[in-house]
């Protein structure tokens, strides 16, 4: 990972969702033509897979890095894990916004929202919920609901959303996801799993022209990068990293 974000975590990724109001076409030729077009631009994306409710085109995993595109009933999704640069991930997402309306017959009126997700995985061994509590909740009014001298946290997953404009069409969500099952807490035996930090920036509303999707993406991207720098890194990622290191919960 060459990005500065990737140096802060075990895995870093940027995902996009292009959500629609009507179902996507599922004809064999339509899907294959779209995936062939993507492969021509990004030759490494040559693995066609079928999952429950999703058709996917993926690249192989090389050194923890890979890219993917997924078609579901009412959305097109794409993601880039551990990109060498932010532009690599953005290039994939912009490619989808450019070509999908033509290959999938998407009208500007059909657009529900465009969202961008910045994800940070911080691998840790231990009770994830206790780590999150110590890093983000202790000595807050909500944190005082727990008396950790007699109890153990088993579900501490903050999720906060806010509007970024007066119309509430541009929204941001901050989320921390833990992965410690209660059976591990009972046994006192923990396996290394990631605590995930997500920032989602979502822009609702149809566009006037298909070409306007790139402008929508650019607006969402700028907001997301600013929020990552000003809020996610200092107020979520950094405290969690410190709590993991201080408590000796690093994986391995």
pLDDT tens, the chain, 252 aa long: 446 888 889 999 999 999 999 999 988 999 999 999 999 999 999 999 999 999 999 999 999 999 999 999 999 999 999 999 999 999 999 999 999 999 999 999 999 999 999 999 999 989 999 999 999 998 899 988 887 677 889 999 999 999 999 999 999 999 999 999 999 988 888 888 999 999 999 999 988 998 899 999 999 999 999 999 999 999 999 999 999 988 765 544
- Show the domain range for 206: 6-246
Q: Determine, yes or no, domain membership for 16.
A: yes
> What's the burial of 53, exposed, middle or buried (CB within 10 Å: 0-12/13-18/19+)?
exposed
Q: Is residue 1 in a domain?
A: no
Assigned domain for 252 exists: no
106 part of a folded domain:
yes
- pLDDT value, residue 1: 41
Longest dimension (CA), the chain: 62
223, part of any domain: yes
**Domain assignment present for 251:** no
Q: Are 132 and 178 in contact (CB under 8 A)?
A: yes
Nearest to 37 by CA among 69, 83, 1, 3: 69
Candidates 134, 110, 151; CA nearest to 19 is 110
Q: Return the pLDDT at 2.
A: 46
| Residue among 246, 239, 178 nearest 8 (CA) | 239
Residue 156 lies in a domain: yes
Structural domain includes residue 136:
yes
Residues facing 120 on adjacent strands? 12, 197
Q: Which pLDDT score is estimated for 150?
A: 77
Domain count, the chain: 1
Cα dist. 202→23, 61, 184, 207, 230 in Å? 20, 28, 35, 14, 18
């Amino acid at each position: 990972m060459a990005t500065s974000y990737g140096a802060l975590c075990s895995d870093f990724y940027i995902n996009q969702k292009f959500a629609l109001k009507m179902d996507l076409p599922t004809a064999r030729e339509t899907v294959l033509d779209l995936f062939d077009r993507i492969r021509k631009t990004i030759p490494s994306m040559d693995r066609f897979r079928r999952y429950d409710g999703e058709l996917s085109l993926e690249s192989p995993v090389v050194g923890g890095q890979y890219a993917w595109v997924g078609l579901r009933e009412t959305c097109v999704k794409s993601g880039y894990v551990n990109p060498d640069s932010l532009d690599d991930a953005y290039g994939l997402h912009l490619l989808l916004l450019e070509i999908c309306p033509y290959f999938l017959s998407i009208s500007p009126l059909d657009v529900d929202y465009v969202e961008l997700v910045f994800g940070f995985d911080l691998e840790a061994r231990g009770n994830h919920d206790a780590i999150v509590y110590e890093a983000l909740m202790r000595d807050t009014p909500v944190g005082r609901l727990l008396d950790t001298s007699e109890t153990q946290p088993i579900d501490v997953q903050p999720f906060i959303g806010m509007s970024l404009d007066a119309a509430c069409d541009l929204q941001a969500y901050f989320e921390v996801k833990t992965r410690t099952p209660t059976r591990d807490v009972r046994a006192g035996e923990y396996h290394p799993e990631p605590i995930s930090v997500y920032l989602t920036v979502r822009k609702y509303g149809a566009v006037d022209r298909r070409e306007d999707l790139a402008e929508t993406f650019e607006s969402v991207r700028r907001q997301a990068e600013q929020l990552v720098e000003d809020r996610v890194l200092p107020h979520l990622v950094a405290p969690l990293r410190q709590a993991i290191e201080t408590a000796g919960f690093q994986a391995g």
